């Protein structure tokens, strides 16, 4: 009981420091566990093992609930290309670096596998905190996270079964296929019907959700698969909306509690590394932070994402995962890797999880856009007017409404959009359109935005519209900006823009602006 109280006390301190320092939680919990070990406060082995087993299952269960396959939407091709490229390139790089410093093949394979995936928990939390879950790169990142988690589960099964022969390996893969089929059934028909049609009370729903976890874990145990396989796939089976929202609300506090215990106990297993371990950990961390953005952004651009979305994806994916620790913990418990390898991967996990949120910022993205020659602004296939035209930045649901109104008024319009299909369709209709990011100064120069009669922004991020305002300057053309919240409208108004609260209102306000201009009134008063 004293050990549990100690764990709770340390967890509370880690949460407090995390809020104070504004750093990710998982590295803080690992460091707290290392601090316990350094202070000589060893936990009871039975308590520690129980916390690891239960915490591990709850951890991957929670990660699975965040990864609905449907979230990737139209990005499925990019998800496959980026996901496989990062997984194998970074994994192979990890193996080669490990071999170069003298590790045997099996430990090197464990290292390569452990660093080849990205943290689902931190990645999703960052996207949610920045309200970017449903942006193109957000959909790409969540799709890649799911793909890589499935790949690493597959590879864990292979690593565990391979030493026992082909029959054992095929049996394990067959069992995994059965669990995947059950996951698909639960995702498609099972849990949505239970939640939406049976109208269960919260207590019964909570028991049903926990029962799903134990059902999948029991199936994995009976098929002699790692328990984490069943726990993760149980989470994925609950990831459809609105099931995932209900599940998170009912078991969120439980997952938070056991996640804290798991990482603190895991941190207590990390011994003080020696110079050789620090050297390998540093080399792997540098490789991940540099190679991942380069590989991901290059592949993503080839998959027709904009340079900005591609770089944002690469920066956010440049960290190792909670599954990294799961992999090496399995290898350590099975005696397939030494404790030094576990230490190295733990250090890399702490470093990358701490550094990536600090690096994956808008400022870094724009700096890399100017440094990396991924794409250049694409000229429209049709001639772009030199001045007194209308520039539309973004072409969302209300884009056609605005565009039709402008065409009826016989105005010259140029559209900038980050969807190549939309751009191609507009050009086929005889409307000048440019593929790219509307907040990119190169794009703004290419469409002569500073000489336009008016600029309309329906881009997803208000911060992007603010960049456009800065580029155009106080003497530039009026800028009409679609916003979704009153506080955003006030912010735009104070900076000299003309905010509207919906796409339909944007069309109405814009035509009102023109009527005022034609009648000799001051533009923007009605808006």
- Round to whole Å and give the CA distance between 384 and 375: 20
Q: Residue-wise over 465-488: b if at least 16 C-beta within 10 A, else e?
A: bbbbbebbeeebbbbbbbbeeeeb
Radius of gyration for the alpha carbons in the chain, expressed in angstroms and rounded: 26
- Could you tell me the CA-to-CA distances from 437 to 101, 106, 450 in Å, in that order? 43, 45, 16
- Round to whole Å and give the CA distance between 83 and 151: 9
Domain extents in the chain = 2-366, 390-518
More confident site: 286 or 489? 286
Closest CA to 245 of 68, 485, 25: 68
Q: What is the pLDDT of residue 3?
A: 65
Please, are residues 390 and 454 in contact by the beta-carbon 8 Å criterion?
yes
Q: What is the pLDDT of residue 526?
A: 38
Encoded tokens for 147: 């793909």
CATH number listed for the domain at residues 2-366: 1.20.1530.20
Q: What is the pLDDT of residue 22?
A: 72
- Round to whole Å and give the CA distance between 153 and 169: 13
More confident site: 196 or 13? 13
Quick one: pLDDT band at residue 512, thresholds 50, 70, 90? low
Residue whose entry in the numeric block shows the structure tokens 């910022």: 361
- The CB density around residue 253, as the number of other CB atoms within 10 Å, is 9
User: Residue 385, SS3?
Assistant: coil
* Highest mean pLDDT: which range of 216-230, 392-406, 420-434: 216-230
**DSSP string spanning 155-181?**
HHHHHHHGGG-HHHHHHHHHHHHHHHH
Please, are residues 481 and 372 in contact by the beta-carbon 8 Å criterion?
no
- pTM strictly above 0.85: no
User: Residue 499, SS3?
Assistant: strand
- H-run or E-run covering 455: strand 454-457
* Highest mean pLDDT: which range of 233-237, 303-307, 370-374: 233-237
DSSP type of residue 133: T
CATH number listed for the domain at residues 390-518: 3.40.50.720
- Round to whole Å and give the CA distance between 328 and 508: 59
Q: What is the pLDDT of residue 525?
A: 43
- The CB density around residue 148, as the number of other CB atoms within 10 Å, is 25
Q: What is the pLDDT of residue 375?
A: 55
Q: What are the beta bridge partners of residue 498?
A: 480
Encoded tokens for 441: 């100064």
Please, are residues 196 and 177 in contact by the beta-carbon 8 Å criterion?
no
- The CB density around residue 7, as the number of other CB atoms within 10 Å, is 22
Biggest CA–CA distance in the chain, Å, is 85
- Round to whole Å and give the CA distance between 76 and 81: 9
* SS3 letters across 206-266: HHHHHHHHHHHHHHHHHCCCCHHHHHHHHHHHCCCCCHHHHHHHHHHHHHHHHHHHHHHHH
Q: What is the pLDDT of residue 289?
A: 93
């Amino acid at each position: 009981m004293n050990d549990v109280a100690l764990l709770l006390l340390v967890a509370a301190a880690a949460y407090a420091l995390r809020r104070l320092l504004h750093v990710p939680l998982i590295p803080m919990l690992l460091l707290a566990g290392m601090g316990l070990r350094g202070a000589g406060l060893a936990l009871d082995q039975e308590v520690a093992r129980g916390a690891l087993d239960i915490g591990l299952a709850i951890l991957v269960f929670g990660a699975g609930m965040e990864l609905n396959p449907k979230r990737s939407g139209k990005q499925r091709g990019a998800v496959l290309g980026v996901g496989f490229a990062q997984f194998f390139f970074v994994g192979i790089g990890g193996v080669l670096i490990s071999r170069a410093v003298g590790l045997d093949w099996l430990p090197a394979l464990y290292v390569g596998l452990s660093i080849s995936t990205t943290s689902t928990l931190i990645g999703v939390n960052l996207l949610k905190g920045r309200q970017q879950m449903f942006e193109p790169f957000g959909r790409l990142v969540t799709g890649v996270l799911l793909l890589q988690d499935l790949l690493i589960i597959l590879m864990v099964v292979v690593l565990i079964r391979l030493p026992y022969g082909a029959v054992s390996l095929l049996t394990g893969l067959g069992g995994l296929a059965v669990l995947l089929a059950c996951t698909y059934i639960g995702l498609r028909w099972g849990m949505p019907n239970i939640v939406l049609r049976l109208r269960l009370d919260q207590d019964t729903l909570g028991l049903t959700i926990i029962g799903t976890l134990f059902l999948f874990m029991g199936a994995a145990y009976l098929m002699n698969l790692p328990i984490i396989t069943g726990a993760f796939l149980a989470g994925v089976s609950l990831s459809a909306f609105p099931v995932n929202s209900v599940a998170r609300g009912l078991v969120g506090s439980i997952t938070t509690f056991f996640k804290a215990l798991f990482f603190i106990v895991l941190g207590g297993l990390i011994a003080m590394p020696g110079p050789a371990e620090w050297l390998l950990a540093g080399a792997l961390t540098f490789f991940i932070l540099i190679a991942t953005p380069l590989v991901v952004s290059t592949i993503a651009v080839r998959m027709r994402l904009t340079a900005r979305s591609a770089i944002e994806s690469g920066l956010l994916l440049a960290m190792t995962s909670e599954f990294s620790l799961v992999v090496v913990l399995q290898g350590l418990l099975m005696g397939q890797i030494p404790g030094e390898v576990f230490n190295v991967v733990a250090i890399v996990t702490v470093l990358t999880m701490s550094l990536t949120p600090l690096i994956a910022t808008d400022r870094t993205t724009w700096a890399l856009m100017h440094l990396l020659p991924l794409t250049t602004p694409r000229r429209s296939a049709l001639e772009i007017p030199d001045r007194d035209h209308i520039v539309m930045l973004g072409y969302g649901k209300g884009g056609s409404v605005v565009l039709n109104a402008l065409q009826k008024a016989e105005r010259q319009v140029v559209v900038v959009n980050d969807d190549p299909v939309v751009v191609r369709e507009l050009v086929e209709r005889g409307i000048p359109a440019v593929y790219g990011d509307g907040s990119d100064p190169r794009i703004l120069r290419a469409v002569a935005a500073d000489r336009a009669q008016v600029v309309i922004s329906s881009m997803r991020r208000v911060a992007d519209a603010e960049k456009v305002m800065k580029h155009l300057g106080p003497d530039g053309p009026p800028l009409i900006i679609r916003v979704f919240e009153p506080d955003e409208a006030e912010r735009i108004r104070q900076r000299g823009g003309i905010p509207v609260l919906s796409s339909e209102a944007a069309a109405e306000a814009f035509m009102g602006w023109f009527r005022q201009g034609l009648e000799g009134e001051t533009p923007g008063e009605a808006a």
